[in-house]
Amino acid sequence: MLGPMFSGLADIAAEGVLLLGAGRAILLQIANPSVGRGVAEHSTFTERPLDRFRATTTFLYAAVYGTPGQVAAVRRMVNRAHVPVRRAADGRHSGYNAFDPGLQLWVLATLYDSMMTVFEKVYGPLSGAEADAVYRDYAKIGAILQVPAGVWPADRAAFDDYWSAGLRTLATDEATVRVAGELLHPHAVPWWAHACMPLIRLVTTGLLPEPLREKFALPWDRRRQRLFNLVMRVLALVYPPLPRRIRHALKIRYLRKLETRG
């Protein structure tokens, strides 16, 4: 159990290691049928994965640590990206709208759950009071995503119920499986990103709930499980003692760029 230094979201959200959960969050998002259709038909993140990664990471850092001006800037960025992501219902499919509070809530939930999953594998479990404080703080990110007040589950127990119910509704189809494959086997990335992809694929797949691995047809076996366990144990040993300036380097970099852009 961690000490009292972890008193809220701001104490943990800058940890660069949490970004290892990004792929997990995306796959959980697109397995929601409405989100998946919107991504498959409108998103270009598989064509520009690093750009989308930077945009999402900048949004999260600004939401937690940014000035009012930075928060306003990322809110405008999110809104511009969401405007075209909509389609009316037809005879075969239900419609979708990126501004739908229910879909935005699911996206927010995947980010929160993925963050906490990685954090606890690296740092160990938070105390109940610490986890409650982090959870309450996460609601303000929802406000930036225009999740209405009161929609974010009231406490962690309510979130667990919401999350369990949400997982039971997840499904994949040919389009979302294709998107997942392009995400985990990208082409439009520099050489160093290609070199990292085997590790990213291993960690992303290992962090997913097992039923979702199967829905995405992601290969998994005992050897991969052992290797994943080893990677997480090594991270738990070597990452926490790193200097803060290294662990928080991406937060510092992205907020500086946002400030310059503004």
96-106 pLDDT, tens digit per residue, is 555 588 888 99
Residue that is written with structure tokens 């850092």 in the block: 61
* Higher-confidence position of 64 and 45: 64
- Phi, psi (rounded to 5 degrees) for 96: -150, 155
Whether 90 has a pLDDT exceeding 80, the answer reads no
How confident is the prediction for the chain on average, in pLDDT?
A: 86
Contact predicate 202/184, CB 8 Å: no
Rounded to 10 deg, the angle between the 22-30 and 174-184 helix axes is: 170
Reduce the DSSP state of residue 113 to 3 states and report it. Answer: helix
Q: How far apart are CA 255 and CA 146, in angstroms?
A: 21
Instruction: Give the model confidence (pLDDT) of 187-212 as tens digits.
Output: 878 888 889 999 999 999 999 999 99
Torsion angles phi and psi, residue 87, rounded to 5: -155, 140
pLDDT on residue 13: 95
Total-model pTM: 0.87
For 66-76, what is each residue's pLDDT tens digit? Answer: 888 888 788 77
Residues forming beta bridges with residue 96, ordered by sequence position: 87
Spell out the residues 6+ positions from residue 47 whose beta carbon is closer than 8 angstroms to its own.
188
Q: By percentage, how much of the chain surpasses pLDDT 90? A: 58
- Phi then psi for residue 86, to 5 deg, are -160, 150
